[in-house]
Each structure stands twice: as C-alpha cells, then as structure tokens.
Chain A
Amino acid sequence: MKGLPQTPAPFPLQGNSTDPSFRANYGSKRVLVVDDFQQHLNFMRKSLLTIGFKHVVLAQSPSEALSKCKHYDFDLVFSDYNMGEGKNGQQLIEEIRYRKLARKDCIFVLLTAETSRDIVLGAIDIGPEAYVAKPFSDAFLRRKIDQLMDRQKCLSKVTSAIEVQDFTKAVQWCGEIADSFPRHYSWCRKTLAELYYNCGQYTEAIQVYNDYIERKRATDWALLGIAKSHLALGNFTQVEETIQRVLALNLNCVAAYDLMAKCCSYNNDSLQAQKNLEYAINLSPHSIERQTGLGDVATINNDHETAARAYRSAIRISRHSIFDLPENYCSLAGSITDSMAGDVSQEDDVKADDARDIIKEIGDKFEKERVIDFRTGLVDARIHVYQQDIRGANKLVEIIEKDMDADPLELDAGLGMEFIKTYLQVGETEKAREIMLKLQKKKSVDYRQRLALGAVEKEIEDYTTPMDMEVNDKESQTLHSDEFNERAATLYERGELEKAIGLFARAVKISPESVAVNLNYAQAMIRYMETKGLVRGYMQDSLECLEALEQYIQKDRHHARYNNLAGRLRALESKQQLAG
C-alpha cells in the first residue's frame, strides 16, 4: 500500500478541529449512497468502509433511495446529481426532507459534475449541506465528512432548540457559539436574526444584521435581511433604499429583485412587481417559485401570454419533483384560456385544445382532487365563453355550483380566484363580488393573492359603476341588453353576421358602457369585413367602438381581445388605404 490516497497529507492541516473520537463513531453511523452507476456505488462503498463506516447502504435510483429511507434511519446521504431520466439528486433530497423520510439532522451531500450552484439550486431552500465535485479521493472524502460532522455537532445545540421551539435557548446558544467558534460566526448571526424575524421582532433582527455588517462585511444576505424586516414593518422607503444598497454592490443579486417584487406587491404595484420578477428570471430561471410568482403577477396584469410562459417553465422545472403540483397545471390552462381572443379564430381553437390537453394531463398524472376538478371545470367554462358558447359555459358553472353545495369544501384561494374570473366572464358580477368578499376575510390568503383580490375588486367596481340611473331602470335595461347580446352571439356563431351586427348595435345603444358588448359589436363588424369585404359604415363604427374602449381597457381582462381586434382593424384599414 503505497503511493496513492492512503498516504497522509504531506502538509500540515490547519485550523480544523477534527476530533478523533468522531471518526471512531463512524462505525455506528448509517450512510446511504445514491448513484445510477453501479461502479461508482462500489467505489464509494469501498471508500466509506476505509474511512471507518460499517453500515453503507447503496441505491441505484432515486426511487430505490426513497424506499431505503423508509426502512433505515440514515445519518448521512450521498447522492449523485445527474441520474439520467427521472428525479435528479436535488429533487431527491427535497423529497426526503419534505416527506420527512430522514431525521432533521441527517447530512446530505450532493455529488455533481456542474460548476455552478445555480444550475442545481432547488425549488425552495432545502438544499444539501454540501456540494462536492466528482471525482475525489478518499482523503478528500474523509476530510469533508469530518468537517460536516464537526459542524453539525457544533451547531446541534441551536438546531435542536429551534426544533423544539425553545427560542430563548436558541438565541442564547447562537450567541455562545458565535463567540467561541469564529468559523460559525456568520451562521450564528444569520440564524439569530432569522429567529428574531420569525418571532416578529423585526427591529431586533435589523439590529443583528447591522452589527454583522459593521463587524464583518456588507453581504447580500445581511442587507436583504434588513430589507425583509423593513418590509414586515411596512417601511417601504427603507426597503427600497436597502435594496438599492444591495444592487450597488451586486447588480446581479437575484434575491434583491425577488424582494423588490414582493415590496411592489405589498404596494399594489403589480406592473412593477412583474418587471422585477422578469428581471430576476432573466438572471436565474431555474426557480419554480419565481416562475409561478411571475405567472401569478402577470395574470393580475392581464398579461396572459407571459403568465402562460412562466407557468409552463415552472412545470418544466418541477418535472419529477415533489413540487410538480396540479395547481400549476390549472394555472397554465387558465392563462392559455384567458389569452384567447374570443373571436372564433383558428388561433383560439389551438389555444382551447392546448388548455384542454393540459387539463387532461392533470387527470392522467395526479390523483383526483376535488378542488382541482372544480378549478379545471371553471377553466373549461371559460373556454366555452371565449368560444362564444355562453350557454355551455353557464351549464358547466351550474354543475360545479351544485357539486360544491352537495359537498361544501373550504374555499381555497386558488379556487376562489378561479370562480371570480369565471363569474366575471359569464356576467355574474354579483357572485364574483360575493366570493371576493369571502376571500378578503380569510387569513390564509397570501400577499400575492391579496394583490390579485385588489385588482379584481377594482375590476368589479369598474364593471358595475352605474351611469346615474335608477336601479330598477338599469336592471331592466341590462337585462334587455343581455338578451340582445345573447341572441346576437347565437347569430354570430351561425355565421349570420349581418343580423348579429344589427342586434349588437341595439345592445350597445342600451348599454354603451359595457366593454363586452362593445367588443362583440366591433368583432362582428371586423369579421364581416374580413370575410366579405370592406364596408365604410362598419369601418367607422368599429373604429369608434375601439377608440371609446381604449382608455380604460389597458388593465382590463378584455385586454387580449381588444388588442386582437385592434390589430385586425388596423389590417383592414391598410387594406382600405390600398384600395382607395
């Protein structure tokens, strides 16, 4: 035995408090190694046995690893990152942690061929304790394990106090360890600040972060911690100032843009929130949470194309992970649906098929869940609306309402929003308002859902702002207008465009403030001209229709449809110019 890894290091190892008694303990520790390559597993086992481990369990796939975790209690898990098709190492670790298949103090090491952390960063902050690049020597492995075990033992007083929610103890230990182990100083300060934050003591948290910056360096995490605490305190100006400080140091700090987006959401500025999230995603697209966040905010802004792109990315990233949730598919199907123009065009048909395929995928992929069934049912109802089948849509909504009554379930915020969107589309504004009020009272609604509710509230207000009219009068008129509108829609579907245009014109006269009716009127005229040729009167009327709508449609749910029609009308105009 000479020459290779077993020889002692030819240089003095400094600063590491490797306790030999630790190594003696390795015999009682249980290790799991996960790799799709049998040879690697064999080598790892050999190395681990050499280091002093006695219980080494091997798994050749993530699913095998999960079942081993159910049978054994591991102290240490090594997993390869890239294991071909299926889950990767990061997703495996997430699943073990999330499903609590291992003790909280189990140490995870991700073996990876990547050079950048960002590529392997997971959906949420449950990464491994260490990333190790392959290949490595026995000597390296031993050293890494010593270091991780050492660290864990040192910090265990804090982590176990946190686990039993003894915050006073945790705070005390943070202070003591920070003083006696300079190596763990940063971790202790950061943990201490987070403890204060989680207990709602934001001012104390800020104090700890500031102390750290003074003693060490202005780091991203310390500054962001300050910004986060200010956000909790509602000091929006300080949040922005602190984030500017972070960006001055590191223009590419993704977390800063994430936090800025959150701040904008608190401020009800959904457009700025979207801009910040788009910027963050441009820097680092690999986070599921960031992508779904963008999807949610873009939906609020009626930018359904962006929302659909973001949800699609989220689904792609979450493939094989425990964060591959049916909710994301619902949101995607919803965004695709709401990006339909409602003009019975081929483009709309493609979108409708796409949305329905995604709904079908949910059924194939996930176990049945009532909330999800209702959500997809409501999306389906909206598809009917956009395809001008209002009656079909109403029928679907009725069925869902009945089912909900028969088996009342806690109104989930996602489902609630789906109801609101759908009710607004089928013209049931009052019902939409009712659900909105219910959701606003709920405590479990998060800040992004609150932002969405705020936007919806405005929309409902716009929708029902009466032009000084008697209530009764208005009701009867609206009814009348609805009737014309519906009859016209039926004619339009049948292709009897001229008759439809006539009826829509009457509906517009009765309800000149209705966006939907105006859009229908314009759409019927545009479609007529597209198929049968230009008509001067129609040209004039549709132009007037769209111009009148232009000012308040910018943030309206009809935005996509309006844009579609405006584009087509422009095309007709140039045709007219050419002809003239």
Chain B
Amino acid sequence: MDKNPLDFSLLFGSAVHDVKNSVGLLLNTLTEYVETRPPVSAAETDMVGVLNFEASKINIDLVQLLSLYRLQSERLFVTPEEIYLPDFIEEEILSIQPMFDSLGIKAEIVCASDLSWDFDEMLLKSVFRNVLLNTLRFSQSQIRLSAEVTQNQLCLSIEDDGPGYPQHLLADISDSSNRVDCVSGSTGLGLYFSAKVAELHSRGESRGSVSLQNNSVLGGGMFSICLP
C-alpha cells in the first residue's frame, strides 16, 4: 500500500485555481475587448453574451464541484452570519452585470430594505450565482429576484419569463432533495449543490430546502431556496 496516497482534494484545488485564473483572464480580456470594439450588431452582442456566459459557467461549476468534493471528503462547514438581503441580491446582480447588459435583461428586486437573515454568505452566493446564470440563459427579457420570510424561513426566489423548467427536473426535485441526479446538462450539478447547501442550513428540527416550479408571475420558471 502506498503510504502517501494522492491528495486529490489538493490536486483538484490547485487545478481549479489554475483554470479559474485562466477563466478570469478570459472574462477580463473579453470585457476590455468589448470596450475597445463595441459590438455593432445584435448578432455580435449575442456572441459576446454567450462568451461571457459560458466562461462564468465554467467558473461556477468548478467551484461547486470542488465544494461537493469537500462535502464528501471532509464535511463542508456552514459559517452563518447576519446578512442583509437587499445587499446580497444587489451584489449578486452587480457581479454579473455585464451579462444582464449584453443579453438586454432587466432585473426586478422584491425585498424589504431591512430584511436580514443568518446564513453562510459564500455558500449561498455560489448557489445563487449558478441559478442566476441558468435563468439568464432561458429568460426573455426579465428576471425577478425576491426574498421574504414565511413560516420562520427565509425564501429566496429567482423567477424568469422563459419556457420554465423541464418536466424531469421538476420531478427529480419534488422526489427528494437528496436524490437529485447529476443529470446531463448544466442544471443538474447546480441543483444538487443547491439542495446540499440548503440541507446544511438547519435550525433545531427544521432544515433548508430547494424547490422548482413553473408558476412564476413572470410566466416562466421559479427556483426557491428556503432557509430556517
């Protein structure tokens, strides 16, 4: 037996570090490029949007994959802090503002200005970013982000005016949050990660949960994560 087996977490971590550096460079260069040569046609704007989108997606997927690995190997640990929801949501939108702009999508925020809750900001940001990116891809012109407290749980929702979530995803998630399959396509990993993060947030007997529905006021899909 090899006494020093390969530390996969370490290897993975440094690989992610490298790839993320490259992706970051890619995104920054793209931003700079578009600044010097703004897209002149709708088609060009679309292409910039796709480039931006896919690069961000690689980034977030890697981070989540790494987190899931940690979750399995050494327990991912929740560090809750009091977070002001308006800040949280606005920051998330601002951090991917270029994509909203290039896709021409408007964001609507529905949140009381003094709403705060205790949760792990970094984990939730990772969840939120992923769902937001997916929603951007499928929405027509509008995304609605809301936060409210119902039945002693904070519910964060992202809704869009797109075609809604496919049936198999809706079925998977209503089945049991534990059993979300890492189905092919981009939504699987993100949903699985979201469910895990929700579960990690607990308070007494109650645990967090995620849900997918197709009854948004905007007409498309709605993702919600609720935290006790």
Contact = CB atoms under 8 A, between A and B. Distances in A.
Contacts of A119: 70
Contacts of B14: 82, 84
Contact of B25 (A16, A39, A252, A284): A39
A40 interface: yes
Interface string A114-127: 11111101000000
Contacts of A217: 118
Contacts of B48: 3
Contacts of B24: 37, 40, 134-135
Given A250-B203, A252-B78, A117 B25 contact: no
A137 B86 CA distance: 18
B2 interface: no
B38 to A, nearest CB: 5
A20 interface: no
A233 interface: no
B97 interface: yes
B54 interface: no
Nearest to B24: A135
Interface string A124-159: 000000010111110110011001000000000000
Nearest to B113: A15
A576 B218 CA distance: 83
B213 interface: no
B126 A133 contact: yes
A345 interface: no
A7 B101 contact: yes
B67 A10 contact: no
A219 interface: yes
Interface string B115-134: 01010111101100100000
A116 B122 contact: yes
A115 B122 contact: yes
B106 A11 contact: yes
A115 B126 contact: yes
B94 A137 contact: yes
Interface in B94-108: 94-98, 100-102, 106-108
B98 A4 contact: yes
A135 B57 CA distance: 11
A1 interface: yes
A134 B95 CA distance: 9
B47 interface: no
B120 A136 contact: no
A29 interface: no
Given A14-B113, A16-B87, A39-B25, A139 B45 contact: no
Q: Considering residues A14, A84, A137, A183, which has the most beta carbons from chain B within 10 angstroms of its beta carbon?
A: A137
Given A134-B24, A252-B77, A186 B82 contact: yes
A535 interface: no
B106 to A, nearest CB: 5
A191 to B, nearest CB: 13
A2 interface: yes
B199 to A, nearest CB: 12
Contacts of A183: 84, 114
Q: Considering residues B78, B97, B100, which has the most beta carbons from chain A within 10 angstroms of its beta carbon?
A: B97
B217 interface: no
A11 B108 contact: yes
A353 to B, nearest CB: 16
A143 B100 CA distance: 17
A13 B121 CA distance: 20
Contact of B114 (A135, A139, A182, A284): A182
A437 interface: no
Contacts of B98: 3-5, 137
Contacts of B204: 248-249
Given A3-B34, A4-B35, A135-B28, A115 B66 contact: yes
Interface of B: 13-14, 16-17, 20-21, 23-25, 27-28, 31, 34-35, 38-39, 45, 48, 56, 59, 63-64, 66-67, 70, 74-80, 82, 84, 86-87, 90-91, 93-98, 100-102, 106-109, 111, 113-114, 116, 118, 120-123, 125-126, 129, 202-204
Given A3-B101, A10-B100, A119-B70, 15 more contacts: A5-B98, A9-B93, A9-B94, A15-B114, A37-B21, A37-B24, A39-B28, A43-B28, A113-B63, A115-B63, A118-B79, A134-B24, A135-B59, A250-B203, A252-B202
5 contacts: A5-B101, A15-B114, A118-B77, A133-B129, A250-B80
